[in-house]
Chains A and B, each alone.
Chain A
Amino acid sequence: MYMIIRMIGEALKGHLDLLLLAILAEGPAHGYAVIESLRARSGDVFDLPEGTIYPALHRLENQGLLRSSWSQDSARRKRIYQLTPKGQQALVTRQDEWLKFSKAINTTVGI
């Protein structure tokens, strides 16, 4: 079981950007909400250490695919991330790449 979780974790890292962009395509969200959404939408399969998601969000922001701003509509400040137009384009490209990739894998393994 540990090996399976580890394998999923390793495979997930390679596609993390696509997953984060896809979640944020639904609307701006702060890190905690992004992580909860990632876990809920994958039925708890995507369960990386939560702390490793933040550096990935920062990297996407540095690449201009996301932008962030601090909001204070609750007791604590929250850093809200949202897709930029460049991020939306990147999402479409990566979705297309993933579709081709997953089709090739499915065909190869006979699913």
Chain B
Amino acid sequence: MAGNHIQKYLHALKRQLWLRGVFDPESLEEVENHLLEAVEAGIRRGLSVDESERRAVERFGSVKVVSLAFEREKNTLMQKLLLALAVLTGLFIAYVDSRPTWDDTGITAGAILLSSGLLTLLGYRRPWLIALAIGLWLPIYEIYVSHNYSLPNLIFFPLAILLMASIGAYGGWLARLGIQKTFHPA
């Protein structure tokens, strides 16, 4: 049974791994077993349980460092592909929206919302980056074509598009976390 320091550490690490989209119950079990083994080794060397736990956690590395290491090693190619797809989708939406015959703001907004959500649902781990990759091109193109440098066009329009993309991206990300939690509740 893991003690207080270990439990706290595992809880914090699990949370960080969830947030980074790289939680895997087997990896957490492996970490827990490592820490327990380190504690047992410390006790054999004559340390108290509390001190042994504290040192085991300290040697393992901060939650931030360890969760970052897990994030860096997981699916990097998949992450790059999804980001590239987000950029292409954003460019495509900007291109379609710029056509003189296209006059359906609702469909454009829906496309931004859905594509952002879909890409984070598929596994992209940084919703804010997906929102930028999809939502940035439309306002840039609009400003470039119209040469309209008014406040609404420079600030409010991009913010509205990025807000739409963010809602989609974070929605997809939360849905993914929910699905993972349902099927891997450990």
Contacts and interface: CB of A to CB of B under 8 A. Distances in A.
Interface of A: 30-32, 35, 48-52, 54-56, 58-59, 62, 76-79
A12 to B, nearest CB: 13
A76 B74 contact: no
B137 to A, nearest CB: 33
Contacts of A50: 34, 38, 59-61
Given A30-B33, A54-B30, 18 more contacts: A32-B34, A32-B37, A49-B65, A50-B38, A51-B31, A51-B60, A51-B61, A51-B65, A52-B66, A52-B69, A54-B31, A55-B70, A55-B72, A56-B73, A76-B33, A76-B37, A77-B29, A79-B30
B63 to A, nearest CB: 9
Interface of B: 26-27, 29-31, 33-34, 36-38, 59-62, 65-66, 69-70, 72-74
A52 B31 CA distance: 11
For the complex of A and B, list the 5 residue pairs with the smallest distance between their C-beta atoms, beginning with the closest. A49-B61, A51-B66, A55-B73, A51-B61, A52-B69
